[in-house]
Amino acid sequence: MRNDAPLIGVLAMQGAFAEHKRALEASGARTRLVKNREDLEGLEGLVLPGGESTTMTMLMERVGLLEPLRDAITGGLPTLATCAGMIVLAREVTDGMHGQKGMGLLDVAVRRNGYGRQVDSFEAELEVAGLGGKSFPGVFIRSPLVESTGSAEVVATHEGRAVALRQGNILALCFHPELTSDRRLHQDLVKRASER
């Protein structure tokens, strides 16, 4: 790995962090698993993976990571949020656990597991603005459903619903790019981190 490769953190509270780590390394990044506030130091990019959003949030609160993470993202750290990561960043969460709130950093309202349970998982070819070339293989597993958007820009839809959004330094996805061999969305994060 090149020493000048950007250092990208992957939140490792719970969920699909190992798959993101592999995808980022295959895309030319150095990686660090983020488990506490000290792990945020020196990062040039960040991934909030899929998993269980309430568990992730509770664990971040328990180890004192929630506010430092919010500060890092608000401060401009290039961020890729997938599935549960999108829920964690959302301004509004429906069908969550009692009292569940997003961080309010992504101007969307989402419904947890809005596409159904595990047995309702599916794949769909998606046209993602800015990727160019062929469509992207979207893997939807217990994915959040975007119910409304505010200032977040929709960059991909499926059956008329937003499934990928950009807002400032954040790219948020309802689907799981780490479960495919297509690295373009991870490469996008590596590029944004390199330009920081």
CB 49 within 8 A of CB 178: yes
Give the DSSP per-residue string, 69-134: HHHHHHTT--EEEETHHHHHHEEEEES-STT----S-EEEEEETTTT-SGGG-EEEEE--TTT-SS
Region class of 91: left (phi > 0), else alpha (psi between -120 and 50), else beta: alpha
Is 19 catalytic? The answer is no
* Distance, CA of 68 to CA of 120 (rounded, Å): 35
174 tagged catalytic: no
Catalytic residue among 19, 44, 52, 178: 178
52, 83, 158, 186: the active-site residue: 83
Q: Which positions are annotated as active-site residues?
A: 83, 176, 178
